[in-house]
């Protein structure tokens, strides 16, 4: 059986994605070639790329989107802007994939994998860890973070009824109070000149709403966000949600629409409207919009902010796996 590993570039990975979107498990936006390319352009200078396409004969069975430093391989990307990551593998080929990959890593003097963050349903947890046990590799697995997500029902009323009595009452009360203040419009912006204006609104609210967010949005991070939004808009995944009161923006969210799931990436609000729960309600209206458009899942992404559970999110643990390839 002819087994091959071909190191490739991010440009070539885009072609691979176009050709294998149905065959391989491109499970989230954080592992798409366009996303990884943006991260690499802004943050990748300290690493060497190790992006490998794995073949059996002429059949591609998966992709390892990795980078290397001092003999350790990491997922290409950073945990501060890539909420979780994974390998990209064809169903039923997982053991073949990891066998070929680990042998190729040894040939390239890579003796350690440090993978974070990965979900319980990831290729890493579901398939790599059992493979490492069979090979008697040394493995350390730690829970390092949490994410929150929920399946979406068929109607917004059904969603509200799924909340606890207290939270359902609070959401309805807050929505009613906001509508009593004036005309409410919630809209999504996806591209064009209107998107540029929406991004400026978002940046302003992002830094004004919380001190830690203001410190996070360095010039380098703002460059990353600008490249990311331009790139994701080009491939049709970016959605900027704007909540307006009497035509004045009072809250904004940045999210991505991928595989019938809405990924809530970041948000901000005008501090003048904190008493009207503008930040929280921007998420509620996003959930309502997602249900109305028939989306199947809403992912609040990484972080343990209490509002995520209050709005119906279920906790998903995120792990770091360190593996000695010996």
Q: Which CATH number do you get for residue 121?
A: 3.40.630.30
Q: Is residue 226 part of a domain?
A: yes
Judgement on whether residues 176 and 233 belong to the same structural domain of the protein? yes
Q: What SS3 string covers 131-184?
A: HHHHHCCEEEEEEEEEEEEEECCCCHHHHHHHCCHHHHHHHHHHHHHHHHHCCE
Judgement on whether residues 179 and 141 belong to the same structural domain of the protein? no
Judgement on whether residues 75 and 173 belong to the same structural domain of the protein? no
Judgement on whether residues 65 and 161 belong to the same structural domain of the protein? no
- 14-54 pLDDT per residue, tens: 999 999 999 999 999 999 999 999 999 999 999 999 999 99
Q: Is residue 300 part of a domain?
A: no
Judgement on whether residues 23 and 135 belong to the same structural domain of the protein? yes
- Average predicted confidence (pLDDT) for the chain: 95
Judgement on whether residues 126 and 196 belong to the same structural domain of the protein? no
- 1 pLDDT more than 80: no
Judgement on whether residues 92 and 136 belong to the same structural domain of the protein? yes
- 153-183 pLDDT per residue, tens: 999 999 999 999 999 999 999 999 999 999 9
Cα separation, 61 vs 81, in Å, equals 27
Judgement on whether residues 269 and 188 belong to the same structural domain of the protein? yes
The stretch 122-142 carries a mean pLDDT of 97
Judgement on whether residues 264 and 216 belong to the same structural domain of the protein? yes
The stretch 46-64 carries a mean pLDDT of 96
Residue 101, Cβ density class (10 Å: 0-12 exposed, 13-18 middle, ≥19 buried): buried
Q: Is residue 34 part of a domain?
A: yes
- 251-291 pLDDT per residue, tens: 999 999 999 999 999 999 999 999 999 999 999 999 999 99
Q: What is the pTM for the complete model shown?
A: 0.95
Residue 65 backbone dihedrals phi, psi, to 5 degrees: -85, 80
Q: What pLDDT score was predicted for residue 10? A: 95
- Give percent above pLDDT 70 in the chain: 100
Q: What pLDDT score was predicted for residue 139? A: 97
Q: Is residue 306 part of a domain?
A: no
Judgement on whether residues 208 and 183 belong to the same structural domain of the protein? yes
Q: Is residue 267 part of a domain?
A: yes
Judgement on whether residues 181 and 234 belong to the same structural domain of the protein? yes
Range of the domain at 167: 153-295
Q: Is residue 302 part of a domain?
A: no
Q: What pLDDT score was predicted for residue 212? A: 83
Judgement on whether residues 90 and 14 belong to the same structural domain of the protein? yes
Q: How many domains does the chain have?
A: 2
Q: What pLDDT score was predicted for residue 192? A: 79
- Confidence band, pLDDT 50/70/90 cuts, at residue 222: confident
Q: Is residue 305 part of a domain?
A: no
Q: Is residue 40 part of a domain?
A: yes
């Amino acid at each position: 059986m002819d087994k091959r590993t071909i190191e490739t570039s991010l440009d070539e990975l885009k072609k691979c994605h176009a050709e294998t979107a149905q065959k391989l498990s491109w499970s989230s936006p954080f592992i798409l070639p366009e996303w990884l390319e943006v991260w690499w352009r802004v943050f990748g200078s300290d690493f060497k790329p190790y992006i490998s396409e794995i073949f059996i004969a002429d059949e591609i069975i998966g992709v390892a989107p990795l980078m290397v430093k001092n003999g350790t391989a990491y997922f290409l990307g950073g945990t501060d802007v890539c909420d979780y990551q994974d390998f990209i593998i064809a169903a039923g080929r997982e053991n073949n994939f990891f066998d070929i990959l680990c042998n190729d890593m040894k040939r390239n003097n890579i003796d350690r994998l440090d993978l974070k963050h990965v979900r319980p349903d990831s290729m890493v947890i579901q398939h790599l860890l059992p493979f490492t046990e069979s090979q008697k590799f040394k493995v350390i697995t730690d829970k390092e973070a949490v994410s929150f997500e929920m399946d979406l029902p068929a109607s917004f009323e059904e969603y509200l009824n799924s909340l606890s009595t207290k939270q359902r009452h609070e959401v309805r009360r807050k929505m009613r109070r906001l509508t009593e203040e004036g005309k409410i419009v919630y809209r999504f912006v996806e591209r064009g000149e209107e998107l540029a204006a929406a991004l400026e609104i978002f940046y302003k609210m992002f830094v004004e709403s919380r001190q830690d967010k203001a410190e996070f949005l360095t010039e380098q991070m703002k460059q990353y966000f600008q490249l990311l939004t331009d790139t994701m808009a080009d491939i049709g995944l970016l959605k900027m949600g704007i909540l307006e009161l009497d035509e004045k923006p009072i809250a904004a969210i940045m999210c991505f629409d991928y595989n019938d799931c809405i990924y809530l990436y970041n948000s901000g609000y005008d501090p003048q409207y904190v008493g009207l729960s503008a930040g929280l309600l921007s998420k509620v209206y996003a959930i309502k919009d997602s249900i109305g458009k028939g989306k199947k899942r809403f992912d609040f992404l990484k972080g343990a902010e209490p509002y995520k559970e209050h709005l119906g999110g279920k906790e998903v643990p995120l792990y770091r796996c360190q593996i000695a390839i010996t």
